[in-house]
Amino acid sequence: MNIRRLCCRLALCLLFASPAFAQFSLVETGGTFRTDATNLAAASQGATAIGFDELGTPNNHYIANINDGLYGNYESWIGLNDSISSTASWVGVRFAAPVSIGAFAFVRDNLGFFTDRATVATYRIEFTTDATVYTDPAAAIWTLVGVIDHTAAGTPQPHLRHLYNLSTAEPLTNVLAFRLLTSSGMTYGNAIDELEVYGSATPIPEPAAVATLLGLAALALGAVRRRTRRS
């Protein structure tokens, strides 16, 4: 990996690793699937993609894309109803068995080619312990965890993946399904290319470790600049 790019990415992650919402702590902007925990939302783990509607063809924007393990616009779900109705679209995952949730991530286009839609959206983060979700997801009783507002100033690169730790007073346990309810009345339907759910919170470096990492990043960036001037 290019050293300059690595330094910039590290700085961004550390800069925004502070609470952005009362119910969530933003841990990472960009990045990919966690390697220290299992993605419970993955289809490979037995989770089923569920949702209200989908744009579908001609560009493959289906509900099933939400947990296929692939990033990118052409592997994304796009809601159809937001652009033609006051009823909000939603998408999520239903787990094969009850789970506990400590962190989650979602993204519009983690490959970075498409930046639209994400900046005009709010997302209601909801979960359910209601077994009705196995027969009629829309009829299940959903509980609001909180709202993420990408229309507000200060959200770093809203089209990229954002990984959040839950900061709820009590952990989410016995969860049967987890979903994102998107804005209604948008000019175009919302788009999400992947939803990730983890049973544990993402470890955050201690302050001393953060200072060390920032120092190393600064040294590495300085070395890159010196080499650039010499060449």
57 and 135 fall within a common domain: yes
DSSP state of 61: B
The token duo for 3 is 């050293």
Count of domains observed in the chain: 2
| CB burial readout 43-80, b (16+ within 10 A) else e | bebebbbbbbbbbeeeeebbbebbbbeebbbebbbbbb
Is residue 225 domain-resident? no
- For residue 111, what pLDDT is reported? 85
- For residue 119, what pLDDT is reported? 65
State the amino acid at position 22 in one-letter form: A
Answer yes or no: are the C-beta atoms of 186 and 25 closer than 8 Å: no
Residue-by-residue pLDDT tens, the chain, 231 positions: 455 554 444 444 433 333 334 588 899 999 999 999 999 999 999 999 999 888 877 778 899 999 999 998 888 898 876 555 557 789 999 999 999 999 999 988 888 888 776 666 788 999 999 999 999 999 999 999 999 887 776 677 888 899 999 987 677 999 999 999 887 555 567 888 999 999 999 987 665 555 565 566 666 656 556 565 555
- For residue 188, what pLDDT is reported? 65
- For residue 6, what pLDDT is reported? 46
Nearest Cα to Cα of residue 9 among 29, 25, 26, 27: 29
78 and 178 fall within a common domain: yes
**What values do phi and psi take at 40, rounded to 5?**
-70, -20
107 and 198 fall within a common domain: yes
State the amino acid at position 64 in one-letter form: A
Is residue 226 domain-resident? no
209 and 199 fall within a common domain: no
- For residue 60, what pLDDT is reported? 83
Query: Can you tell me the distance from the alpha carbon of 45 to that of 225, in angstroms, rounded to the nearest whole number?
Result: 44
Is residue 228 domain-resident? no
Q: Which residues, at least 6 apart from 136, have a Cβ–Cβ distance to it below 8 Å?
A: none
Is residue 92 domain-resident? yes
Element (H, E) at 14: helix 3-15
Place of tokens 């089923």: 48
39 and 131 fall within a common domain: yes
140 and 127 fall within a common domain: yes
Q: Which residues, at least 6 apart from 91, have a Cβ–Cβ distance to it below 8 Å?
A: 49, 50, 51, 52, 63, 66, 77, 79, 179, 180, 182, 192, 195
6 and 71 fall within a common domain: no
CATH number of residue 181's parent domain: 2.60.120.260
Range of the domain at 4: 1-17+205-220
Is residue 48 domain-resident? yes
173 and 209 fall within a common domain: no
Is residue 96 domain-resident? yes
46 and 118 fall within a common domain: yes
130 and 80 fall within a common domain: yes
Is residue 230 domain-resident? no
Element (H, E) at 213: helix 207-230
Place of tokens 């939603």: 90
- This prediction has a pTM of 0.76
96 and 52 fall within a common domain: yes
Is residue 149 domain-resident? yes
Q: How far does Cα 203 stand from its chain's mean position?
A: 17
Answer yes or no: are the C-beta atoms of 1 and 12 closer than 8 Å: no
Q: What share of the chain is helix, strand, coil (3-state, %, to 5)?
A: 25, 30, 40
10 and 34 fall within a common domain: no
Element (H, E) at 86: none
